[in-house]
Amino acid sequence: MGISNNLGYILLVEDEENLQEALKLNLELEGYEVTGAGDGAEALKKINQEYFDLIILDVMLPEIDGIDVAENIRLQNNDVPILMVSARSSTADKVLGLKKGADDYITKPFNLEELLLRVQKLINKNKKLQEKETVDDRYNFGNNTIDFKAQSATNFRGEMIELSRKEAMLLKLLIENKNDVVTREKILQAVWGYNVYPTTRTVDNFILNFRKYFELDSRSPKYFHSIRGVGYKFMV
Ligand code: CA
């Protein structure tokens, strides 16, 4: 699985199996990695477990409908772009969808090319927003605070942690690219420099330490994720 070929992670929430299958195939052909969900509860579960660049959300779903799913996502302070898909084309339905958190709205039956363009636009817009983010001297996540200037941190247990220079650099790199995978190559270049090539285990050990410092349960990390064979991801 080459991450460079992956244009983004999409959660496709659609209860009509044939449509889900057809859409998934077309999105994958475009270069997206697609996870499917057949109802609202499954969608919410996946959103809590995995990172997505975009959610394509059908409105008419069994039990928890798309409107409630969108509302639920936003109540969790999750800003993931949502493209709502609905068979209902009335203005009132669109307004409701947009009010509850959809970023864009498309009506069934839709033109595939139009859907793909909207998907691409939403993902690119979000990526640009993320790239522009720079990190201040202090950064908070959970109940942890990192002071990059002082190379120290205070964690959720109230412990003061002295960070090594490399730890501070790696934390900054991961946080600047939050919710995006930072490849091992990029980490080695940015933190270790071109001349030294530490083993994979070196970077792993840094991540393990971050989990010990900042995670409630270091075996089930919320913030510091390893993407096997690719790199690492800081998620908030
Ligand atoms: Ca449906």
pLDDT, tens digit, for every residue of 51-110? 888 999 999 999 899 999 999 998 887 788 999 999 887 888 889 999 999 999 999 999
Cα separation, 23 vs 17, whole angstroms? 10
Spacing, Cα 31 to ligand 1 middle (Å)? 25
Spacing, Cα 28 to ligand 1 middle (Å)? 21
Cα separation, 20 vs 23, whole angstroms? 5
Q: What was the pLDDT predicted at 55?
A: 98
Spacing, Cα 8 to ligand 1 middle (Å)? 24
Name the CATH superfamily housing domain 9-130: Response regulator (3.40.50.2300)
Spacing, Cα 160 to ligand 1 middle (Å)? 51
Q: In what order do the strands lie in the sheet with 224-227?
A: 181-183, 231-234, 224-227
Helices (H), the chain: 17-30, 40-49, 66-75, 91-99, 112-132, 165-176, 184-187, 200-214
Spacing, Cα 42 to ligand 1 middle (Å)? 14
Q: What was the pLDDT predicted at 153?
A: 97
CATH 3.40.50.2300 domain locations along the chain: 9-130
Backbone angles phi, psi at 85, to 5 degrees: -120, 125
Q: Which residues pair with 160 in a beta bridge?
A: 154
Least confident interval from 22-26, 48-52, 59-63, 140-144: 48-52
Spacing, Cα 65 to ligand 1 middle (Å)? 9
| Top CATH class, 138-234 | mainly alpha
Spacing, Cα 186 to ligand 1 middle (Å)? 42
- Mean pLDDT confidence for 23-29: 96
CATH 1.10.10.10 domain locations along the chain: 138-234
Contacts of 202 (CB under 8 A, 6+ apart): 192
Encoded tokens for 124: 């690119």
Encoded tokens for 232: 């690492």
Q: What was the pLDDT predicted at 2?
A: 39
Q: With a cut of 70, say whether residue 196 has pLDDT above it.
A: no
Percent of the chain, pLDDT > 70? 92
Least confident interval from 2-6, 23-27, 106-110, 139-143: 2-6
Candidates 76, 18, 92; CA nearest to 43 is 76
Spacing, Cα 15 to ligand 1 middle (Å)? 5
- Mean pLDDT confidence for 129-147: 82
Q: What was the pLDDT predicted at 197?
A: 60
Spacing, Cα 16 to ligand 1 middle (Å)? 6
Spacing, Cα 134 to ligand 1 middle (Å)? 40
Spacing, Cα 25 to ligand 1 middle (Å)? 18
Cα separation, 55 vs 174, whole angstroms? 23
Element (H, E) at 86: strand 82-86
Q: With a cut of 60, say whether residue 230 has pLDDT above it.
A: yes
Spacing, Cα 206 to ligand 1 middle (Å)? 45
Spacing, Cα 89 to ligand 1 middle (Å)? 14
Highest mean predicted confidence (pLDDT) among 40-49, 154-163, 164-173: 154-163
- Mean pLDDT confidence for 29-38: 95
Spacing, Cα 121 to ligand 1 middle (Å)? 23
For 98, what's the count of Cα atoms within 13 Å in the CB-facing half-sphere? 10
Q: With a cut of 60, say whether residue 132 has pLDDT above it.
A: no
Spacing, Cα 125 to ligand 1 middle (Å)? 27
